[in-house]
Amino acid sequence: MIPSHSSLLLFVSAAVVLLAIPGPAVFYVTSRSIGQGRGTGLVSALGIGVGTLVHVAAAAVGLSALLMSSAAAFGVVKYLGAAYLVYLGVQKLRSAESLDLSPDAPRAKLSRVFGQGIIVNILNPKTALFFFSFLPQFVDASRGSVALQILFLGTLFAVMGITSDSLWALFAGTVAQHLKRNARWLNAQRFVSGGMLISLGVATAFAGPGTRK
């Protein structure tokens, strides 16, 4: 039920690249950490991770049903997903993220922060689209249940995401004052991030495992 070693290595490498790219979750966690401290940022990261698992479960059910109905349709989704990653890269190049660095944000209870993190990620349609486009690249139907493979990969990605977001929270809390004085890195990172997404989309389209038995 687990992807091959080569597919798993490719998945982990791709996940590391994606998690290194600051996106909405990173900016949300970073803003929390800067405004209310590292502890709040860490709790936000955990909430976002739980929200990610909800999308993983939905992707496992939906993609498994799709493959059972039509292997060809699953293949179409796979390559459309790779194209979507390229599209995300182009959008990243064309737009800049903003970071709320205000230190005056009201402090919230950690339980509320955790719940907000879950809701923020669950209600983000881009997260659902991302998993429907990314996970099929590494699924091989010949190795068993597609749903279990997606659950395994998605859970692994969620754990890596929590770790990555937590590091961002610690980083932001440590260098909060510097970030408040200098936000030019936001403009520079989008060019690197966009190029990485485009490259990843192209790479997975050609290197991702197929779905044939």
**pLDDT tens-place string over residues 62-84:** 876 765 566 676 667 667 767 87
Residue 195 lies in a domain: yes
167 has a pLDDT exceeding 90 = yes
**Whole-prediction pTM value?**
0.68
Structure letter (DSSP) for residue 171: H
The pLDDT assigned to 212 comes to 34
Domain that holds residue 30: 5-101+109-205
| Three-state secondary structure readout of 82-96 | HHHHHHHHHHHHHCC
Residue 165 lies in a domain: yes
Answer with the residue of higher pLDDT: 162 or 173: 162
The pLDDT assigned to 209 comes to 46
Residue 9 lies in a domain: yes
Residue 211 lies in a domain: no
Q: Give the distance, in angstroms, between the CA of residue 121 and the centroid of all CA atoms in the same chain.
A: 10
49 has a pLDDT exceeding 90 = yes
Question: Do 47 and 163 form a contact (C-beta atoms < 8 A)?
Answer: no
Residue 132 lies in a domain: yes
Question: Do 157 and 106 form a contact (C-beta atoms < 8 A)?
Answer: no
Residue 213 lies in a domain: no
Q: How many domains are contained in the chain?
A: 1
The pLDDT assigned to 28 comes to 75
Percentage of residues of the chain with pLDDT beyond 90: 12
Question: Do 169 and 38 form a contact (C-beta atoms < 8 A)?
Answer: yes
Q: How far apart are CA 171 and CA 4, in angstroms?
A: 34
Residue 212 lies in a domain: no
Q: Give the distance, in angstroms, between the CA of residue 122 and the centroid of all CA atoms in the same chain.
A: 12
Residue 162 lies in a domain: yes
CA angle 67, 70, 73 (to 5 degrees): 90
